Amino acid sequence: MLSLTVSTLFQAALVPLLFQHGAVAELLGCDAVGCPTNEYHVAQCKVGNATLKALGITNITTTLDTRPLTWTVGFQELPKDNSHPEAALVLDKNFYLGTPPALRFDNNTAGCALFFEGVSANLAVSQDKKNSFTCADALNADCVSDLIRQAESAAKLAGDSDACSQLRDSLMSKPPSSCNSVKGGNWGSVSSRPLTGNQTLETADQSQCRATTGQGYDLRLVDSERHYLADRTNKALSQVLMGITPVMTILEKDGKAKAELTCLRLVDSEANQTNDEPSPKSLGSPNGVLSSPSVYLATLLVSTFLYMF
């Protein structure tokens, strides 16, 4: 498992709300990690069994290690499946946790991640902030701090394999009123994934593409969100590809939980943009393969609202 050896650094984490005002962390994409590309200059980043066409990578600072952890979002197109014959396009948004090479979670530490994919299509930031935004810009500052407080007081992760989904259920059942502006105060679907415990998250093969900015980092697929698109219009595509997904990381040690909210979005590739790039209306190419998402993906920075663990 993602077992973490927690150093004494963890104690320093108990300084409350160290990053209350939310350091704006950079969100980097394929250009930063040199994804291999196909003949149309579309990224083909093979990680484990997925071939990702765009990435968004951000650091999160914890007291587990002097080096940050990373979250990576990537998307891949899948063949149509029989369960949704009406869908024009099937996309997976995958979320990977990157950890420094020697990091081990010890058995006194419990971890959980929550993915608020249900609101991602509803979240946007103003044009002037597209290159640099925090979760507070996407959700509003009170909502972010109330949600974090709610998670930290509700979390009881230690020793219970269902604790992560219970935390999810408790957050979903009563969103803070400060979050009412987000999709009418309804989170929609939220996925919960334990980061520690009995089940093992396998390290993904990165021999063909390194999808994290951390040197030598291990990468693990933590969550995958499947989207069935009814059509290939710009609107349908951009709701998925330009969506902003809040990802909450909760770590607990000695009964004290610390949560952090990171807002992840795919980052446009700037490299080798040429005139033969498909135009927006031809995004879905005739052979059924999605062309470059870059038309939709503004270059961006993100968005972490950092609370030290």
Ligand X SMILES: *[C@@H]1O[C@H](CO)[C@@H](O)[C@H](O)[C@H]1NC(C)=O
Contacting positions for ligand X (CB under 6 A): 25-26, 28, 37, 41, 49, 57-59, 67-68, 78, 107, 159, 161, 197-198, 213, 221, 271-272
* Nearest to 56, CA basis, from 193, 187, 243, 295: 243
Contacts 24+ apart (CB under 8 A), 14-23: 14/256, 15/308, 17/307, 18/306, 18/307, 18/308, 19/61, 19/305, 19/306, 19/307, 19/308, 20/145, 20/307, 22/134, 22/135, 22/136, 22/141, 22/144, 22/304, 22/305, 22/306, 23/61, 23/304, 23/306
CB atoms within 10 A of CB 37: 17
CB nearer to ligand X: give 220 or 258.
220
Nearer to ligand X among residue 242 and residue 302 (C-beta): 302
What minimum distance in Å lies between the beta carbon of 180 and ligand X? 32
**Smallest gap, in angstroms, from Cβ of residue 93 to ligand X?**
12
Least Cβ distance, residue 165 to ligand X (angstroms): 12
Choose between 19 and 234: whose C-beta lies nearer to ligand X.
19
What is the smallest separation between the CB atom of 175 and ligand X, expressed in angstroms? 28
Q: How far is the CB of 97 from ligand X (least distance, A)?
A: 13
DSSP secondary structure of 39-72: TTS-B-EEETTEEESEEEEEEE--TT-SSPEEEE
Q: 27 or 190: whose CB is closer to ligand X?
A: 27
Q: Which residue is nearest to ligand X (CB)?
A: 161
Q: Closer to ligand X at the Cβ: 24 or 143? A: 24
